[in-house]
Amino acid sequence: MSFTIAIDGPAAAGKGTISRAVAAHFGFAHLDTGLLYRAVGARHLAGAEPVAAATQLTAADLEADDLRTPEVAQAASRVAAIGAVRAALVDFQRAFARRAGGAVLDGRDIGTVICPEAEAKLFVTASPEVRAERRYRELREKGIETDFATVLADTRERDARDMGRTDAPLRPADDAVEIDTSHLSIDEAVAAAIAAVDQAMKERTT
Ligand code: CDP
Ligand code: CDP
């Protein structure tokens, strides 16, 4: 039996952290769909045409170890605005969502476009300042030289592009449960997410 948990939200809201914990809690598989766009963005930075890169994406592309840089994130957000790039990635994501045993997918358009029929939908947010602070700390820990103002500007630019695009813009699905993690610890955010999924599971069986 399949059960899909869709988790959307802006950069550094805590989607990945929550998705991994929720997947582990329910014994579901997890797909970070941002990685697909990052891999296409990285191939584009290396000279590939974005639609061709998306069509020919391989597992090896997803394992490249430089996908978490700010440059790749910006490139990902630019190629993600191209409708044909998004279209090339739909089937893979939908097949993953419907795998037996349950799946958690996190991204921007999972609850709205990829899996509008998902059994549970969460929209994870936090203020731009909190998100930029988290990303800034992560980049510093990785030894990437940057400053807070640059990370905040980068975060706002990516938010605006992701929310403003015509094709699959970032927005909460009408039936998504919103979790604002601005003032939550990771444990609190994960507990809120698990409670929302438990509730969705209960509603389906009653
Ligand atoms: O996947 P997404 O970009 O939405 O965010 P993430 O990678 O899960 O989280 C970004 C950073 O925020 C990580 O370093 C998390 O440990 C941290 N975080 C946090 O400090 N408090 C939370 N409630 C959630 C995440
Ligand atoms: O980790 P973070 O939230 O910073 O970014 P990500 O989830 O890895 O996504 C990188 C970029 O890919 C986003 O800024 C979006 O432009 C794009 N993306 C998308 O358009 N649709 C998705 N389902 C996932 C990511």
Name the fold adopted by 4-200. Answer: Rossmann fold (3.40.50)
Strand order in the sheet with 103-107: 29-32, 103-107, 4-8, 120-125, 177-180
Predicted local confidence at residue 1, as pLDDT: 82
* Nearest ligand by distance to the CA of 170: 2
For residue 22, how far is its CA from the centre of ligand 2 (angstroms)? 19
Pocket test for ligand 2, best of 4, 68, 108, 152 (most atoms within 8 A of CB): 108
Give the closest residue (by CA) to ligand 1 atom 19. Answer: 186
Predicted local confidence at residue 43, as pLDDT: 97
Tokens 């930029």 sit on residue: 132
Predicted local confidence at residue 93, as pLDDT: 98
Pocket test for ligand 1, best of 35, 134, 183 (most atoms within 8 A of CB): 134
Which atom of ligand 2 is found nearest the CA of 93?
A: 23
**Region at 23 (left for phi over 0; alpha for psi -120 to 50; beta for the rest):** alpha
Predicted local confidence at residue 205, as pLDDT: 80
Predicted local confidence at residue 65, as pLDDT: 87
Tokens 């190629």 sit on residue: 79
Pocket test for ligand 2, best of 7, 61, 77 (most atoms within 8 A of CB): 77
Give the closest residue (by CA) to ligand 1 atom 3. Answer: 12
Predicted local confidence at residue 204, as pLDDT: 84
Q: How far apart are CA 152 and CA 186, in angstroms?
A: 21
Predicted local confidence at residue 32, as pLDDT: 98
Bridge partners of 124? 179
Give the closest residue (by CA) to ligand 1 atom 2. Answer: 12
**Average pLDDT of the residues of the chain:** 97
Which atom of ligand 1 is found nearest the CA of 32?
A: 1
Which parts of the chain have pLDDT scores under 50?
A: none
The annotation places the binding site for ATP at: 9-17
* Domain parsing of the chain, residue ranges: 4-200
CA 115 to each of CA 3, 8, 105, 138, 205: distance values in angstroms, whole numbers, following the listed order: 11, 11, 9, 30, 20
